[in-house]
Amino acid sequence: MEIVVVGRHTDVADRFRQHVEDKLAKVELLSPYVRRVDVEVTHENNPRLSENRERVELTLRAKGPVIRAEAAADDRFGALDLAIDKLNERLRRARDRRKDHRNNKVLAPVDVRTLDEILTDAGSEDGPEPQISTPAALAAPGDSVETTIGDSPVVIRQKLHHADPMTLDDAVYEMEMVGHDFYLFIDKETSRPSVLYKRKGWSFGVIQLDNPCGGAPVTDLA
């Protein structure tokens, strides 16, 4: 298993790198086919965020979907422990899901609505839309770029992902594995760009665009 540790806006000491390797040694027990774990450490300079100034993001790459976990704390060692706890929990859920599929269990039902239905239910808001500058072309999956909205301090990070068409069941599973509240995918049955999102309790919702696509890589905001 390869472990790659990088720092974003910060240096990473050898002591922490060794600590990461020691803590991740048990990951292979839950995911025997893991090939690589990317560890990104980010330092927040804002003094108002001192309690969460160190953020650690773990991305596990193995056979199957990418599994991701992140956490923040006042020191990176504590953030690492929290992130590993989340990662291990998602690995256990992935293992349980494989067992559930063998027993033919089904995930919770999903409420599927079109984009027009979502806008009708939620109500549209008036006002001009912010202008986002167009970034340089993203060449390959995994590439990312940050842009700003006009002269504002708002920063938009765009990242290119490879988008294999998948079923709704697979989209729910992969969203849970990365720990997000939404998931962008291409519906295998309709070829429509779709966004899966969490609702209250154990229910989910889906927004679909009425313009099918050909399954090309998709750029999302992450």
pLDDT of 219 reads 46
**137 and 185 part of one domain:** yes
Domain containing residue 211: CATH number: 3.30.505.50
89 and 128 inside one domain = no
Rounded CA-CA distance 190/29 in Å is: 38
Q: Residue 169: what residue type?
A: D
CATH for 20: 3.30.160.100
In this structure, the answer to whether residues 76 and 143 fall within a common structural domain is: no
Residue 222 has what pLDDT? 45
- In this predicted structure, what is the pLDDT of residue 63? 77
- Based on the fold, state whether residues 32 and 9 are members of the same structural domain: yes
Confidence band for 108, pLDDT divided at 50, 70 and 90: very low
Calculate what percentage of the chain has a pLDDT beyond 70: 72
Distance CA 76, CA 20 (A): 10
Amino acid at 62: A
Of the listed ranges 77-81, 116-120, 198-202, 204-208, the least confidently predicted one is 116-120
Question: Which range of residues forms the domain containing residue 119?
Answer: 110-221
CB atoms within 10 A of CB 124: 7
pLDDT computed for residue 113 by the predictor:
46
Judgement on whether residues 114 and 189 belong to the same structural domain of the protein: yes
78-87 long-range Cβ contacts below 8 angstroms, 24+ apart: 78/54, 79/54, 79/55, 80/19, 80/20, 80/23, 80/39, 80/56, 81/23, 82/56, 83/56, 83/57, 83/58, 84/23, 84/24, 84/58, 86/179, 87/27, 87/58, 87/60
> Average model confidence (pLDDT) for the chain?
76
Residues 125 and 212 in one domain: yes
Domain count within the chain: 2
What is the β-pairing status of strands 204-208 and 110-114? parallel
The residue from 80, 102, 124 where one domain ends is 102
Do 139 and 83 sit in the same domain of this protein? no
Q: Do 115 and 204 reside in the same domain of the chain?
A: yes
50 secondary structure, DSSP code: G
- Specify whether the CB–CB gap between 158 and 135 falls below 8 A: yes
**120, 209: one domain:** yes
138 and 211 in a single domain? The answer is yes
Q: Are residues 153 and 56 in the same domain?
A: no
Percent residues over pLDDT 90 in the chain: 19
Say whether both 145 and 163 belong to one domain. yes
Q: Which of 102, 133, 148 is the last residue of a domain?
A: 102
Q: Whole-prediction pTM value?
A: 0.53
